[in-house]
Structure 1
Amino acid sequence: MTARRTAAAVTALGFAPLALAGLAAAPAAAHGSMTDPVSRVAACYAEGPEAPRSAACKAAVAASGPQAFYDWNAVSIANAAGRHKALIPDGKLCSAGNSKYRGLDLARRDWPASRMSAGRHTFRYKGTAPHRGSFALYVTKDGYDPSKPLKWSDLEAKPFARVTDPRMRGGDYVFTGTVPRKSGRHLVYSVWQRSDSPEAFYTCSDVVFAGGGGGGTGGGGGGKQSPAPTPAAPTASAPTDDRIEKDAGKTGGGHGTHGGSTGGTGTTGTTGGTSGGTTGGATGGTAGDTSGGTTGGGAGDAAGGNEPAADGSASPLDRGLAETGGGSATPLIAVSGAGALAVGAAVLFASVRRRAGGGRHGR
C-alpha cells in the first residue's frame, strides 16, 4: 500500500509542472483604455451600461448592447502585429473593426468630450491588466467633421505623442506629449501595441479645443471659429476605480470576446499573423501602418525629444511595473523545465513499481 501511495504521489508531482507550464504558456489578458482624454467606451461605461445618460451613449448601447461597455477595456485585435491600418477598415476605427463595439463608430457631434488645449499634456491610460508595449496618439486633421464616419485619412499622418513602456501610477500608464494647436471638436486616436504579443488595443477620445464649439467641425488654430453646438456636447468622465471593482464580475473575460481574435472584420482581405516577425512598432510610420516595427520619428512628430521616452527608460524595477507575466521565451523555458521534471518523475515511478513488485514476489 505504501508503494502505491508513493507511486501516486510521484505521478502527481510529474504532472503538476506540466499544468503549471500550461498556465505559463497561456497569454496574459492585457486590457485597458484611455481615461485622459476619456475614450468613448470608457465614458459610456462610466455613465452606466444599463442606463447611460447622454444621447450618444444611449445610441451606442442600443447598437452594441450593454455587455460591450462592461467590456470597456477590451477593444482590441489579438493578432494586429502593427498592421492596424490593414486590419481596421475606414469607418470602424473606434471599434477596431469588431462588430461587438459597432456603437463606438456612430458618427455624431454630441459624443461626451474632454477639454483640451495645445501644449504639454499629461495622458492617462487605465491598465486593468498591464503589459509592456508602445503607445501612439494621433489627432484628427483640421477640418475634421464628426458627423461623418472616421477614416484613417482623417488622422494626422504622424503621432503627436508616443512612448514605450511608460511607468504606471495608481493603475494608470502616465506619460506626456505635446498637443498640436487645434480649434473646436477633434478626436484623439490611440494605439497600444503590446511588445510581447501581436495584440493591440485602440481608443477614440472626443476632445474640444478652446476657440471652437463643442459640436462643430475642427478648424486650425488660425482658421475661422467652428460653429457653436446646439446643444453643447456633455463632458466625458472616466470610470472610477470603485465602479471598475464593483463590475469586475460582469466583464466578458477572455480574448474570445474580442473581434480582433479573427483579425478584424475581414473586409480588407487581410488575415491575422505577424508581419515580418514584428510584434511591436506602434509608435512609428504613418497613421495606422506600423508593420515595419519602427520607433523612429519624422517630420510632424511634435513630441520631439519626448519626456515619455525617459519615463520608459526607467530602471528595471520601474519597468517591471509595466508588465505582467514573462517574456516570449517564458513558455518555452517553462515547458522545457516541466518536461525534464516529468521524465525524472516517470523514471522514479518505474523504479517504485519495480521495488513494489519485487517485494510481493519475495513474500
Structure 2
Amino acid sequence: MESGKFFPAMRGEMLDQTAATDVQNAAPPTDGHIAGSSVSGDVPLLDEQTPTRWEKVRLHSGAKQKFKWEYAAAQPTRRWNYFITRIDWNSSSPLTRAQFEVKPFCTIQNPGQPFWDPNAKLMPQEPTVHICDLPKRTGYHIILAVWEIANSPMAFYQIVDATFEEPKSSSSSH
C-alpha cells in the first residue's frame, strides 16, 4: 500500500532527518488504517484485525530473517524500516502506532545524496534482499515493513502476520 513516508510520524511536510534535500513527506497512514491506507484508494478489508483473521508465516524468535522486495517500478530509495508489534499488543484491536515498537528492529539506509544525482546510487537492486535479526517474541505478532522513496513524499507499506516460535535447539536430549 502506498501512503506518506516517515512512519510512525503522524503529519506531513516533514524533512528527512538524514537527507534534507529529499522530498518532504505526505502524511503517513492514520491509526486504525495502517494496513489498508493508500493514495490510490483505501482497502478497509486490510485493516480488519483479529487473532484469527489472517494467515500467518512461521518465524523463529531471535533468528536471522530474509526479507525480499520485488518492485513493479523501482524508485530512488532512502531506506527500508521494519517495525514489530509490542510484546503486550492487543491482536483484537485495529493497528495503531501504540501497538508497534517506537523504533524499527531493522533499518537499511541508503546514504547517497542528493537523490537526483545518479552517483548517489539510490536505485534498489531487483530483487532487494535484507537479512534482519528478529526480536525475541512468542506467539502472534505483526511486522510492518516500510520502503521510503527519496524523490517522493510516499512510502510503500507491507504487513507480515507471523507466529513466532522458539528457535530449534541444536543439541539433542537423550
TM-score by length of 2: 0.69
**Partner residue of 1:195 out of 135, 140, 150:** 150
Q: Is 1:209 matched up with 2:164?
A: yes
- Alpha-carbon spacing, 1:94–1:83, altered in 2? closer, same or farther (3 Å): closer
Determine helix, strand or coil for the equivalent of 2:42. Answer: helix
Q: Does 1:131 align with 2:75?
A: yes
> What does residue 264 of structure 1 align with?
none
Whether 2:82 is the aligned partner of 1:140: answer no
**Could you list the per-position Cα deviations for residues 190-235 of structure 1 after superposition, in whole angstroms to 9, with x for gaps in the alignment?**
1111012222111111011015xxxxxxxxxxxxxxxxxxxxxxxx
Aligned to 2:57: 114
Please state how far the C-alpha of 1:119 moved relative to its aligned partner. Answer: 2.2
CA contact (8 A) 1:82 1:198 kept: no
Q: Residues 89 and 97 of structure 1 are in contact (CA less than 8 Å); yes or no, is this contact kept in structure 2?
A: no
Q: Larger Rg: 1 or 2?
A: 1
Higher relative contact order (CA 8 A, sep 6+): 2
The secondary structure found in structure 1 opposite 2:156 is strand
- Deviation, structure 1 residue 82: 2.8
SS in 1 for 2:161: strand
Of 142, 155, 160, the match for 2:100: 155
CA contact (8 A) 2:80 2:147 kept: yes
Q: Is the 8 A contact 2:83 2:143 kept in 1?
A: yes
How big is each residue's C-alpha offset from its partner over 1:126-160, in whole Å with a ceiling of 9 and x where there is no partner?
21211221100000000222211111011111111
Structure 2 partner of 1:355: none
CA distance in structure 1 between the partners assigned to 2:137 and 2:127 by the alignment: 26
Give SS of 1:147's match: coil
Q: CA deviation at 1:184?
A: 0.1
Write the deviation string for residues 22-45 of structure 1: whole angstroms up to 9, x where unpaired. Answer: xxxxxxxxxxxxxxxxxxxxxxxx
Q: How many residues align?
A: 133
Deviation at 1:94, TM superposition (A): 0.4
> Could you tell me which residue of structure 1 aligns to residue 6 of structure 2?
82
Opposite residue 104 of structure 1, the aligned amino acid is L
Matched, 1:92 2:11: no
TM superposition shift of 1:189: 0.5
Aligned AA (1:138): F
Between the two proteins, what is the percent identity of the paired residues?
22
Distance 1:83 1:182 in 2: 22
Structure 1 stretches lacking a partner, 5+ long: 1-74, 212-363
Q: Which protein has the bigger strand share? A: 2
What letter corresponds to residue 59 of structure 2 in structure 1?
M
Shift of 1:179: 0.6
Contact kept in structure 2, 1:167 and 1:174, CA below 8 Å:
no
Distance 2:69 2:55 in 1: 17
Matched, 1:105 2:31: no
Match of 1:177 in 2: 132
Following TM superposition, by how much is the alpha carbon of 1:167 offset from its aligned partner in structure 2, in angstroms?
5.3
More helix by share: 1
Amino acid at match of 1:162: T
Which whole-Å CA distance do the structure 2 matches of 1:114 and 1:108 have between them?
Answer: 16
CA RMSD of aligned residues (A): 2.0
1:312-327 correspondence to structure 2 within 5 Å:
none
Q: What TM-score does the superposition give when structure 1 sets the normalisation length?
A: 0.34
Consecutive unaligned residues in structure 2, runs of 5 or more: 11-26, 111-122, 167-174
Partner Cα distance (1:172, 1:89) in 2 = 29
CA distance in 2, matches of 1:204, 1:132: 22
